[in-house]
Amino acid sequence: MLTKRKTIRKYIRFYGQVQAVGFRWTAMQAAKLYGVTGWVRNEYDDSVSMEIQGTERQIDDVIAAIDRGTYIVIDRMEVKTLETVEEERGFRVKYH
């Protein structure tokens, strides 16, 4: 019997070599590929923030795809679980 996978939402802050290396573009492509919603944004302290919504597996797959980026080096991540946003459609780059 198949069961529906639980949708979750996470806020993730990425540190390392994550700006000016195609991080946001890679995140957009991976989000499309794995069918997640949310957003990604460069921060003023050279980190990158992301809110991502999907199943645990989808989110893990997106992060793994980003980590495989040619010039992207993720040193560490801070992760928080958030409430889901039911009406959200798509994944986008946010600007300040």
**Alpha-carbon dihedral sign for residues 21, 57, 90, 96:** negative
Q: How far apart are CA 9 and CA 80, in angstroms?
A: 9
d(CA 34, CA 75): 23
**Catalytic positions, written as ranges:** 24, 42
